[in-house]
Structure formats: structure tokens, C-alpha cells
Homo-oligomer: A and B are copies of this chain.
Amino acid sequence: METVAHPAAFSPAQARELFRGGTSRPTTGWCGGFTQANLITVPADWAYDVLLFCQRNPKPCPVLDVTDPGSWSTALAPGADLRTDVPRYRVWEHGRLIDEPTDVVGHWREDLVTFLIGCSFTFETALAEAGVPLRHVDQGHNVAMYRSSRACRPAGRLHGPMVVTMRPIPADLVDTATRVSERMPAVHGGPVHTGDPAALGIEDLARPDFGDPVEAEAGDVPVFWACGVTPQAALMASRPPFAITHAPGYMLITDARDSDYRVGWRAE
């Protein structure tokens, strides 16, 4: 990147332009205050199963937008091209990863429906504003994600475990982090668990299933939130003939403000 600005200060349009040009970075910490989204693109005959899976599992799968078949635009980011503006994609055939390109123009089809799903990066701005440190951002890492032992409610051909993100939080700030994120139900809401990885069937925090491991500091407690990679994991397990997703941590940055997804904020 030739730019001198810190990614947190980029506008979403600037970030998307960089990604459209081929830049490929995890987007945690980018474009402070703007909503990031998970992307899932499936043939139209799989769209009902995906939408129903999300409806039945709203905590990990909050749907922010759904396109009409073949469309690559979204109301959440006017001018964006969903085929090029995510920093890294994954292309799947029958559940097998066949490509990890920085655009999917060559893979596009007329029958594709795209789901944009809320991301816990959205509440990170609110956490930071409340004085909660974000260890993975400070360490320059992607967030750590794990398949948990909690089963999602199945829908049609889709079933699978809840995927969670983990953030080490200083013990005296866990309540603040909980309260702040609870106010954002459209982007995963409050933690699903605090404290014991084994309670979620996670054996080793140092070996996440997606993203990077994160180093805790003394006095930190692991706090787990539902993760928007959940529907992607369920979809892949059911092996649709074709699908496109973002690469975990490489999100679509929208023009929606994180604050749009806060509930009852003015009462504080």
C-alpha cells in the first residue's frame, strides 16, 4: 500500500477501492465506526436454506442484507461491487475449496444470491470507545475463531456448530464488554460464554480453527461471542455444488455506521 493513512482512518469507499485493486488484508481495525460484513454467495436454490438457517440462529447469523439473484450491489454500500470489493474470497465446489482469489468476477453467475451477515468487528469500535482493549488489533492479528460444541438449530440442508470469536478481556472490564455488546443484537449481541474454553468444547485457545491465535495479558479472561463464520461453516459442511464466501477475517466494509446497530444507546 502506498497510502500513509492508518487503515482505521480510511473511509469504507477508500478501503473498498484498495481491495478492488488487489490489496488483501484482514479488515479488523479498519474504517473505525463502519460496519463490516461476512459474505455468503449461493445459487438461488440454496438461498432459502441459508436464510432460514440465519433466521433460526440469529445470534451467530444476523442477516444485514440479501441481494436479488445475479446482483452484485448492496444497499449497505452504494457503489460497491460485491465481486471485487472483499479483500479475499473463497470459492467452493461441493464443499471443497477450489480458489482463494481477490475477486470473483470470473466465477460470477446469474443465479447467485449474496447474503451479508453481521460481524463482531462491528462492536469492536463500541468496545474500544468504552475503554476495552482489543488484544488482536494491538498485536496486528486477525481475530481468533473456534468451532464450538454448541449445535445450531438446523434448517433444510444446513446444520453445524456455532463458530465463536474469542477476545481476551481484562477481568475488571468483562462486565463493560458484555453490557456494550448486548446493546448490539444485530451484530451478535452479548457474549455466549465467558471464562472457560472447555465449556464450549474448545481444547486449545492457541490453535484457533480460523484466524490467528491471540496473546492474552496477565489478568485477562477469555470472552466468547457468536461469529458470522457460523453459516459459512454450516454451508460448507452441506456441500452445495457451488458457493463463494469471504475469507475469514477479510470482510466487506460497508457504509453503514456501527452506531446504526446500537439499541437504546441514547438512554445511557
Residues of A within 8 A of B (CB): 47-48, 51-52, 55-56, 63, 66, 179, 182-183, 185-186, 189, 263-264, 266-268
Residue of B nearest to A185 (CB): B263
Q: Specify which chain B residues have a CB less than 8 angstroms from the CB of A47 in the assembled complex.
A: 48
Shortest Cβ gap from A176 to chain B (Å):
11
Asked if B263 and A182 make an inter-chain contact with CB atoms under 8 angstroms apart, the answer reads: yes
Main secondary structure of the interface of A (DSSP, over half): helix
Q: Is there an interface contact between A179 and B66, defined as CB atoms closer than 8 Å?
A: no
> Which B residues are in CB contact (< 8 Å) with A264?
179, 182-183, 263-264
- List chain B residues, Cβ under 8 A from A52: 51, 66
A267 contact from B48, B179, B189, B266, Cβ within 8 A = B179
Contacts of A267 in B (CB 8 A): 179, 183, 267-268
Q: Please measure, in the bound complex, the distance between the C-alpha atom of A70 and the C-alpha atom of B47, giving whole angstroms.
A: 20
A183 neighbours in B (Cβ, 8 Å): 263-264, 267
- Chain B residues whose CB sits within 8 angstroms of the CB of A56 once the complex forms: 66
A266 / chain B contacts, CB cutoff of 8 Å:
179
CB-CB under 8 A from A63, the residues of chain B are 55
Min CB distance, A188 to chain B, in Å?
A: 13
